[in-house]
Amino acid sequence: MSAGTAPGTTVPGGTVEISQQGAIATVTLSNPGRRNTMTEAMWRALEPACARLADDASVRAVVVRGAGADFSAGADISDLRAILRDEDSGRHDGGAVAAGEAALAGLHKPTIAAVQGYCLGGAWQIAAACDIRLTSSSATFGITPAKIGIVYPTAGIERLVRIAGPATAKYLLFSGDFVDAERARVLGLVQAVHPAESFWDEVDAFAERLASRSQLSIQAMKDIVDTIDSAGDGEHGGAELARANEHWQQLMATAGDAEAGVGAFLAKRTPEFTWNGGRDVQRHARPSIGTGDPAP
């Protein structure tokens, strides 16, 4: 993938576009005139888009955003039955939403959801699948199953509970109330709120910082944090965490980033981290916690 705009995945009624500037790739959700509502084909386009990003060694950080003034108003209601249906099982248990969200959650590189305007229903699950959520002061969030009479798959609810806690999850799921950016920060849904006029400058600066950091450290910490979050307590969780630690400690011993970082610190200069391991050095696929919020 070269700098500038790479060919995206164009689908009827919307586009999932990948562009790149330097080491930062941007995934843009676009459905003009419909607040970037997600059609079934757009949901399904997320998986190959994430595969491309995983395989491109030049990409060191990923920003997910909506085109124009909104992140996304969620799943296309007119396409909802097809979106929620799993093609393999025939059950309405997450379908295309689960597949798209799982692909994003499984990406081993650092991901940032850049949210402005509306982020509703299933669009929240896209944001939740990212490692970090930065929002404009213009952002509005809503998680809305009770407004249209659907039941979210367990995995989507689990991700929300892990992020915000059971009481807040119930409040948002039961009421379907919209919350503004600052309230979302207080509830734990997002990590930072920036003024609308400087939002994209803040996003760009943060993405640049992540891209400049050691990818060995970031990918290792992502795996270890996710393992702690998903494996749970007890013997199994402890064993899985030990395996994660052993894997990354071994890589650290040979990757060269530790030497580069320590040497730069002692010499009082900016480090140049060169390790850019791909999917072949990952322990396993990321945990599937929270895959598939089928919200509209």
Give per-residue pLDDT as tens, 136-173.
Answer: 999 999 999 899 888 877 777 889 999 999 999 999 99
Cα–Cα distance for residue pair 37/17, rounded to 1 Å: 14
pLDDT value, residue 280: 66
- How many Cβ atoms from other residues are within 10 Å of residue 180's Cβ? 15
At position 244, the amino acid (one-letter code) is A
Using one digit for the tens of pLDDT, what is the confidence trace for 53-105? 999 999 999 999 999 999 999 887 766 666 666 556 555 556 778 888 889 99
Strands 14-21 and 4-5: antiparallel
Which CATH number is associated with domain 4-211?
3.90.226.10
Angle at 84 between CA 146 and CA 114, to 5 degrees: 75
Question: Which structure tokens are listed for 209?
Answer: 């910082």
Residues 6+ apart with CB under 8 A from 295: 74, 75, 97, 120, 121, 122, 123, 124, 125, 143, 144, 145, 150, 152, 156
Domain ranges of the chain: 4-211, 215-274
Q: Is the dihedral of CA 41, 123, 222, 22 positive or negative?
A: positive
At position 131, the amino acid (one-letter code) is D
Architecture of the CATH domain 215-274? Orthogonal Bundle (1.10)
Do domains 4-211 and 215-274 share one topology? The answer is: no
